[in-house]
Structure 1
Amino acid sequence: MTLDRRAFIGTTAAAAATLAAPMVRAQGRPRVVVVGGGCGGATAARYIAKDSEGAIDVTLIEPTRTYYTCFFSNLYIGGFQEMDDLGHGYGTLAADYGINVVHDWVTAVDRDAKSVTLASGGALPYDRLVVSPGIDFVEGSVPGWSVADQDAMPHAYKGGTQAELLKAQVMAMPEGGRYAMVAPPNPYRCPPGPYERVSMVAHALSQVNPTAKILIVDPKAKFSKQALFEEGWQKHYSGMIERIGPDFGGDKVEVDPAAMTVSIDGMVEKVDACNVIPAQKAGRIAHQAGLTEGNWAPVEPDSMRSKKDPNVWVLGDATSQGDMPKSGFSANSQAKVAAMAIRGELTGSAVFPARYSNTCWSLIATEDGVKVGASYEPTEEKIASVSSFISDTGEDAALRRQTYEESLGWYSGITSDMFG
């Protein structure tokens, strides 16, 4: 599977195409409010506005004026991307697609009144609501750590300043120092992400601090692309990386941000930089709106419609939907299915059977890229995987270089698909 920017946009847009002309309701244009301007929200807003050809009034609410992607932030840490490369604005969505972009926080959703309340005051009514809030963290999931400690021990699992902070701390480590990562339990955003991060930290340290060591404390017995990462670590960073899984106390960890220590099953380890990635849950507004069961928001597999409210759709990392991983590609794919379903309800346009896809690329070292992915279809119970692929161990350098270059084309494609 090879993707470039044009192919990514072309193949994914085809799934959302419509054959029928929109029918505007007599009392005026129907209103769709989208909460969250990431892979799910920005894509949904753009496709609803674009494919309804102005028949639907679309408002996108996102507090940040520049959206920094969490995907590819590991490549920033590794020195392969600049932070400015990861920042994207919303001007094109407003100017070219007529989307009302509101930079504000949503503090409440009133599902009975069908309105959202903004932090700045006032409320926006909707006929259909799309909620794509990403993730928040489960307080107390790593004893000793809370969000108040994220400057001392960054999570860097949301895009932007946290990645900058973590990179600065890694680069400031003393010669021969020690970097620790506390990996998250399943399920969490981007399953290969922590291990790509270890690879990128190792790459950065190999350039400036080659005697440094990396410690992974992991509550999981196994992880995504494990054989590929372990092969790459042995090849490129031999002797630098140690992983402690649950058999040796990786599920019994505490941290002390003030002392910069990690306790593993009672054994205290002093470190120089520590990346704590806690257990995760749906973004706060999904819980406030009553759209969740436990940590995640359940959705209908054929449309991403909330199982809690027929007028609400939930997208991306916040959802409980079945086999799809929590990733930017997944959210983008889900957004197109949701946009088609919403457009069909509001304008009478054609709705086609849902199809979903995902690919996750990871960079292990310079031009050593690997990938995993699948195609999915809805069943009555869930979104189910129907085919999958993964890079092989032992691949030659040319294929790994091609995989890395493919990931660059995908990044260009998906960000154009999101922001226009």
Structure 2
Amino acid sequence: MVMSATALGTLAVPSLSFGQNRSAKPKVVIIGGGAGGASAAHELLRAAGDTLNITLIDRESQYTTCFYSNLYLGGFRDFDSITHNWDALSEMGVNKVTGSATGIDREAKTVSMEDGSSIAYDRLIVSPGIDLIYDSVPGYSEEAAETAPHAWKAGPQTQLLKEKLDALQDGDQIVMVPPPNPYRCPPGPYERVSMMAHVLKEKGFTNSRIIILDPKPSFSKQVLFTDGWQAEYPGMVEWIGPEIHGGVAMVDVEAGTVETDFDTFQGALLNIVPAQKAGAIATEAGLADDSGFCPIDAESMRSTMDENIFVLGDATIAGDMPKSAFSANSQAKVCANAVRADLTDTRKFPAKYSNTCWSLIQTDNGVKVGAQYSPVDGKITSTADFVSQQDETAEIRKATYEESIAWYDAITQDMFAT
């Protein structure tokens, strides 16, 4: 259902629809149970206790993290270790609804479900992640992804990519096409290349190569990755930017080819990651702008399209913040603070955000990049940043990797209350 509502001119907090029934708990509905949505549910429980009626909607009964799925690909984690559920949140009082939300009626303030039911809200938090624009890569499609997996939405696609990687023989070539900006997890494609190279090296495949046909002229942590590839996988990884290949003209997944203006590249494994946009339910509800992503108020993560709705994570236009799990978790805490203040008439604290993205290049060779952020002139703006250095010792790189593992445990505990 596509909904109409007057665009938000100022971010004044609206009056509450439950005001005539003082005994009723305000209703918070959350669409999407990932790093944004699950974190928001848990934070609301901690901040507001049982004063709110919290419903979390996700189509799945289990959640596989896209973050750290590269480590599964590289053999550093098993699949069970990146798979979680919302049972602990349910035991704490969150109403977990397993099913697909199909529409948002912004005037009636309801979410419609695939089974025909609807769920009313006083505040709605939308954290739908990304949708893939398959035809942004000529010749690619959702059907083609069953042969040339993207694995940019975790679960069966992740397992399919690993099966295809593990089935390669020495001399087989991998061709990756990363996505254009903006996209989920900026360093992700290049950590994935590192993990693929790790698997090939561990098998002693001296004749296999990985070709990266990038639509971007540069990428996150580029010097760290290229230095790492040269040191750990000499001659195995080749990055080709758009000024050389001239653009992808056609992918033929059956033939295993990627045609560019420069040459046609053959791969026994094609890993194609297309362009991205906000999850469909957000765009269909009119929460996105022409960019395909959702503008938000930097002070609260409140949608600039609807004062009763907040948007989190990869679906947002979040200023300087990258699209990452750490970012979504940080945004969820700012959002929960604002929702609690809206619905319980309590103090709202100033917004502060942070992010760190870790990447593994080879065993115990971890690197990171990150920043602190604050609202400045209506935009989430970086106020301090850091990045791993090229000349770091092996001990520092190992400590960075161990830090990343500790963070994964911490964020998943924060998301799922485990």
TM range (shorter): over 0.9
Equivalent position amino acid for 1:242 in 2 = E
Mapped partners of 1:41, 1:67: distance in 2: 12
Deviation at 1:266, TM superposition (A): 5.6
Alignment of 1:299 with 2:296, yes or no, is yes
Deviation at 1:121, TM superposition (A): 1.8
Greater shift in the superposed pair: 261-270 or 300-309: 261-270
Partner SS for 1:39:
coil
From 71, 77, 87, give the equivalent of 2:73. 77
From 318, 321, 330, give the equivalent of 1:321. 318
Alignment of 1:101 with 2:96, yes or no, is yes
Q: Which digits, 9 at most, give the CA deviation of each residue in 1:139-162, with x for residues without a partner?
A: 321000011211101001111111
Alignment of 1:1-400 (within 5 A): 26-96=22-92, 98-208=93-203, 209-249=205-245, 251-265=247-261, 267-294=263-290, 295-400=292-397
Greater shift in the superposed pair: 161-170 or 233-242: 161-170
Deviation at 1:381, TM superposition (A): 2.8
**Identical columns (%):** 50
Deviation at 1:108, TM superposition (A): 0.7
TM value normalised by structure 1: 0.93
Label 1:173 to 1:350 Cα distance change in 2 as closer, same or farther (>3 A).
same
Quote the residue 2:10 is aligned against: none
Mapped partners of 1:250, 1:113: distance in 2: 49
Mapped partners of 1:210, 1:171: distance in 2: 15
Deviation at 1:24, TM superposition (A): 12
Mapped partners of 1:402, 1:262: distance in 2: 39
Deviation at 1:47, TM superposition (A): 1.2
Answer whether contact 1:182 1:277 (CA < 8 A) is retained.
Answer: yes
Partner SS for 1:203:
helix
Greater shift in the superposed pair: 111-120 or 42-51: 42-51
Structure 2 unmatched ranges of 5 or more:
1-18
* RMSD after superposition: 1.3
Partner SS for 2:54:
strand
Deviation at 1:251, TM superposition (A): 2.8
Deviation at 1:335, TM superposition (A): 0.3
Mapped partners of 1:276, 1:250: distance in 2: 17
Label 1:24 to 1:225 Cα distance change in 2 as closer, same or farther (>3 A).
farther
Label 1:378 to 1:24 Cα distance change in 2 as closer, same or farther (>3 A).
farther
Mapped partners of 1:416, 1:131: distance in 2: 21
Partner SS for 2:143:
helix
Partner SS for 1:71:
coil
Label 1:259 to 1:127 Cα distance change in 2 as closer, same or farther (>3 A).
same
Mapped partners of 2:20, 2:251: distance in 1: 57
Answer whether contact 1:298 1:321 (CA < 8 A) is retained.
Answer: yes
Structure 1 unmatched ranges of 5 or more:
1-22
Mapped partners of 2:141, 2:52: distance in 1: 42
Answer whether contact 1:202 1:214 (CA < 8 A) is retained.
Answer: yes
Greater shift in the superposed pair: 123-132 or 255-264: 255-264
From 407, 411, 415, give the equivalent of 1:418. 415
Equivalent position amino acid for 1:256 in 2 = D
Q: Which digits, 9 at most, give the CA deviation of each residue in 1:331-374, with x for residues without a partner?
A: 00000000000000100122110000000000000000000000
Mapped partners of 2:178, 2:134: distance in 1: 15
Quote the residue 1:6 is aligned against: none
Answer whether contact 2:138 2:248 (CA < 8 A) is retained.
Answer: no
Answer whether contact 1:49 1:57 (CA < 8 A) is retained.
Answer: no
Q: Which digits, 9 at most, give the CA deviation of each residue in 1:38-57, with x for residues without a partner?
A: 00000111111232110000
Label 1:183 to 1:335 Cα distance change in 2 as closer, same or farther (>3 A).
same
Answer whether contact 2:175 2:265 (CA < 8 A) is retained.
Answer: no
Equivalent position amino acid for 1:244 in 2 = I
Deviation at 1:269, TM superposition (A): 1.8
Answer whether contact 1:174 1:272 (CA < 8 A) is retained.
Answer: no
Q: Which digits, 9 at most, give the CA deviation of each residue in 1:206-247, with x for residues without a partner?
A: 112332110000011110000000110000000001111011
Partner SS for 1:147:
coil
Mapped partners of 1:76, 1:381: distance in 2: 39
Answer whether contact 2:175 2:266 (CA < 8 A) is retained.
Answer: no
Label 1:89 to 1:35 Cα distance change in 2 as closer, same or farther (>3 A).
same
Q: Which has the higher contact order (CA 8 A, sep 6+)?
A: 1
Greater shift in the superposed pair: 368-377 or 289-298: 289-298
Partner SS for 2:190:
helix
Quote the residue 2:7 is aligned against: none
Partner SS for 1:53:
helix
Label 1:304 to 1:326 Cα distance change in 2 as closer, same or farther (>3 A).
same
Equivalent position amino acid for 1:70 in 2 = C
Deviation at 1:306, TM superposition (A): 0.2
Deviation at 1:380, TM superposition (A): 2.7
